[in-house]
Structure 1
Amino acid sequence: MLKPNKYLLILLATVTAYVLFEYYRPKPIDWRPTYENNDKIPFGTEALFELLPDMMQPSAIKMVRLPVYNFLTETKLPTRSNYILICHSFKADGNDLKQLLAYVRRGNNAFISAYDLPDSLGKVIGFKADVKDPTKADSTLRQNFTNPPLQKATGYNFFHDDGRNFLAVRKPQNTSVLARNARKEPVFIRVHYGKGQFFIHNLPLAFTNYYVLDQKTSDYAFKALSYLPALPTYWDEFQKQGRFDEDQQSIFRYIRSQPALNWAYYLVAFGLLFYTIFAGKRTQRIIPIVAPPKNTSLDFVKTVGRMYFQQGNHDNLARKKIQYFLADVREQFGLNTAILDKEFADTLARKSGASKEETDELVQLLRNAQKSISLSEIDLLALNRAMEKFKQTI
């Protein structure tokens, strides 16, 4: 029987202990401000979303997972309704704002609570979402309603907020201030627009689970929303969760939404990358360097030529050069080289593009060489110069 490897056992025990520790250890609190209606974390809005129907009875609360433009143009809406948007940043383009303004102008109500609000909306209805400089940050700053029945004697403190955000009113004739901070700056306003109303609020943390379930601040969100009439109400989740709900999400989107699976995804991705970089190099077969084929015909001709020249066999070398030259002429220009007459010279000059004089001189040398009994070194050199000159010309 094989003895178990103690190092392998130690490694296995360590991994098992780590997995059990990670599984059973208390999960750290997630303090991300998501404002999502299905988040139980401190800064989600599940508590408010579940309690809101009791407040708005007998009206219904419906969740919206579409952009403002798509929802208001594609949905058959009742005569009058409310539209609630609670998020960190209210992102709306020109088409969204155009439809939202038309929606309120017809007699509906829009409740928007966000730190970042588009300037284009503020310019139309008369406000600016302003921010104090960092030196004015104050987490102890208290808020309170301006309506005496809604006021709390000690005010409301949302200490996770730095107290720098406030609203600057630009059109007082259409605007009512519903809440202020301790510096007397508006933080919640109502703007009459057409037949409807905009409720602009710039402290969305007040509507999260942490402050809705805290006894000291639990009534603030409901007092703020009590300004909305009891009408069918639409709760926006597109600004926070996008277009698709859990049933419509892809597997990849679900993986990215779960921290543990997201980390596993990154580990697999980086592991495959490192494997490709390092393991791939070690296992890759060396590709041999293959030299391109070398044309040895020219070297062979030069070698044979030097041999004939060194041996002094000028007649044989000259006649072979004539033979190879005429073979090239036949192949390149399609001429019959059996008779080297004036007609041949004229045709060769026309087809090759060489001058008439050079061609006549070359053909004359070739004709004389064929008639000669023996060719000397001088004849060989003259023939070679004429043929090389002709080749360079064409």
Structure 2
Amino acid sequence: MRNSARFGLILLGITVLIIAFIDLASDKQIDWSKTYDQRDKIPYGLYVTREELPEIMERPIQLEDFTSTNYDFLKTFLTGKEHSSLIYIVNGFYEGKEVTRELMNFVERGGEVFISTNNFPTYLMDTLGIRQQFHYPNNFNEVIHVEDRPFSLEDGKTAYYKDLDYPGLFCNLDTTNTRIIGYYDVEDKEIPNFIEVKRGQGRFLLHLEPLMFTNYYMLKEENFIYGAAALKLLSNKEIYWFDSTFKETAEAKTPLRVLLQNDGLRQAWYILLFCLILFLLFKSKREQRAISVIEPEPNLSKEFARTIASLYYESGNSGNLIQKKIEYFLYDIRTHFQLDILQLEDDVFAKQLSQKTGVSLEECEDLIRVLLSYRKVRTSTDAELIALNKRIEDFKHKANML
């Protein structure tokens, strides 16, 4: 356990060092993606505008979000909200005919729709009787001084925006229901890019270039004043902000979303997982599963011999036991001293036995004589069995056979 704990601490230390090295060595790039997401704090997100809108309006408002432009949802959602305002700040407004028609009905009943985008749908433009185009210089070879191009509102507020090389414009305007709210100066002309279109009891506020409301510009005083003045044109108390990226962000509801949304924490999380996998691999190789102790089979030879002897003894045939005792004794002599027991009755056998065992010749001859006599007897008494067994055991002791 101590080695495992030490190894884990070493891995933790290495992880911390790697994280510190990555944070110090990494070049934190600015994300210039045009997300138009009210939660994004990157340059082209809408966090500042969404958070500051209650202060921008300078009056009490009710600000909520709506997250779908599905026709059925929108029809139900807009019911009873005739005196409210909708805000769309998106890269492209690509709603279909049914949704556009429902927005028309909403405006005609007294609603207000503010749309800032780079592209409007053809159906909406045709219905309102206007056209959208992009301004291109007459001479494409001339250098465009973007920072010198002012964007102005009808109340006189002016701001300069860079990165807007070819801004959009409205044309073929019907002055009966349409009023120019904002424009930009180029080639000694005032090009409209922000208009009001009345429809029934309500109106559309159509603005070209949603970048003007992103964090990058709203954090600059001059641009903030321009953007705030444009949003102040909303006249209703109830304002509904269209959250175009809700479906994407709503999926990240896991407890790990804080780690995964932050670059440094996400790197640390992946490194920690990698180190844990390495730790488990090394730990599995260094430690084996406990092996159970298997006891060896007990030696039951003595118990077996005792059982067999008891069976022979209980059978009441001592002669049979004497015959078995003699046969086993002769087998031991043959294996210990390599003597031919078939020559047991020869005189030379006693001499060979005496020489190899160190027992006197007389005692060997007497033992052989007793063995030969009992080999021919089939019945005997218990006393004879005990006496023979004693003679054999004494001989084995003297001959070092035990």
Alignment TM-score, normalising by the size of structure 2:
0.55
Aligned residue for 1:217, secondary structure, equals helix
What are the superposed Cα offsets for residues 197-223 of structure 1, whole Å, 9 maximum, x if unpaired?
A: 000100111101111110221111111
Aligned residue for 2:45, secondary structure, equals coil
Aligned residue for 1:243, secondary structure, equals helix
Partner residue in 2 for 1:103: 106
Instruction: Please tell me whether residue 74 in structure 1 is matched to residue 76 in structure 2.
Output: yes
What are the superposed Cα offsets for residues 90-138 of structure 1, whole Å, 9 maximum, x if unpaired?
A: 1201111111111111111100000111111111112222113483865
Partner residue in 2 for 1:181: 184
Instruction: Please tell me whether residue 87 in structure 1 is matched to residue 94 in structure 2.
Output: no
Aligned residue for 1:92, secondary structure, equals coil
Distance 1:30 1:218, change over 3 A: same
Aligned residue for 2:86, secondary structure, equals strand
Aligned length: 250
Note if contact 2:152-2:159 (Cα within 8 Å) is conserved in structure 1. no
Instruction: Please tell me whether residue 117 in structure 1 is matched to residue 120 in structure 2.
Output: yes
Partner residue in 2 for 1:139: 146
Aligned residue for 1:216, secondary structure, equals helix
Partner residue in 1 for 2:156: 151
Of 197, 205, 208, 1:202 maps to: 208
Distance 1:35 1:197, change over 3 A: same
Distance 1:259 1:131 in 2: 38
Distance 1:198 1:86, change over 3 A: same
**1:99 alignment partner AA:** E
1:71, CA displacement in angstroms?
Answer: 4.2
Distance 1:14 1:173 in 2: 72
1:142, CA displacement in angstroms?
Answer: 2.6
1:230, CA displacement in angstroms?
Answer: 3.4
Instruction: Please tell me whether residue 229 in structure 1 is matched to residue 235 in structure 2.
Output: yes
Between 203-212 and 167-176, report the one with greater CA deviation.
167-176
**2:60 alignment partner AA:** P
Alignment TM-score, normalising by the size of structure 1:
0.56
Question: Which structure 1 residue ranges, 5 or more long, are not aligned?
Answer: 1-11, 268-394
Note if contact 1:64-1:71 (Cα within 8 Å) is conserved in structure 2. no
Identical aligned residues as a percent: 26
1:74, CA displacement in angstroms?
Answer: 2.4
**1:72 alignment partner AA:** L
What are the superposed Cα offsets for residues 222-265 of structure 1, whole Å, 9 maximum, x if unpaired?
A: 11111110320000012xx043654x5466x969x85859x99x
Aligned residue for 1:99, secondary structure, equals helix
Partner residue in 1 for 2:222: 216
Aligned counterparts, 1:301-316, within 5 A: none
**2:208 alignment partner AA:** N
Distance 1:166 1:85 in 2: 18
Aligned residue for 1:173, secondary structure, equals coil
Aligned counterparts, 1:1-394, within 5 A: 19-24=19-24, 25=26, 27-56=28-57, 57-67=59-69, 69-75=71-77, 76-133=79-136, 135=140, 139-140=146-147, 142-147=149-154, 150-152=155-157, 155-183=158-186, 184-238=190-244, 241-243=245-247, 245-246=249-250, 248-249=251-252, 258=261
Question: Which structure 2 residue ranges, 5 or more long, are not aligned?
Answer: 1-11, 271-402
- Greater Cα radius of gyration, structure 1 or 2: 2
Distance 1:166 1:66 in 2: 28
Note if contact 1:141-1:163 (Cα within 8 Å) is conserved in structure 2. no
Distance 1:138 1:72, change over 3 A: farther
Distance 2:145 2:104 in 1: 34
What are the superposed Cα offsets for residues 130-154 of structure 1, whole Å, 9 maximum, x if unpaired?
A: 113483865225344352xx313xx
What are the superposed Cα offsets for residues 357-387 of structure 1, whole Å, 9 maximum, x if unpaired?
A: xxxxxxxxxxxxxxxxxxxxxxxxxxxxxxx
Distance 2:212 2:153 in 1: 17
Distance 2:84 2:150 in 1: 28
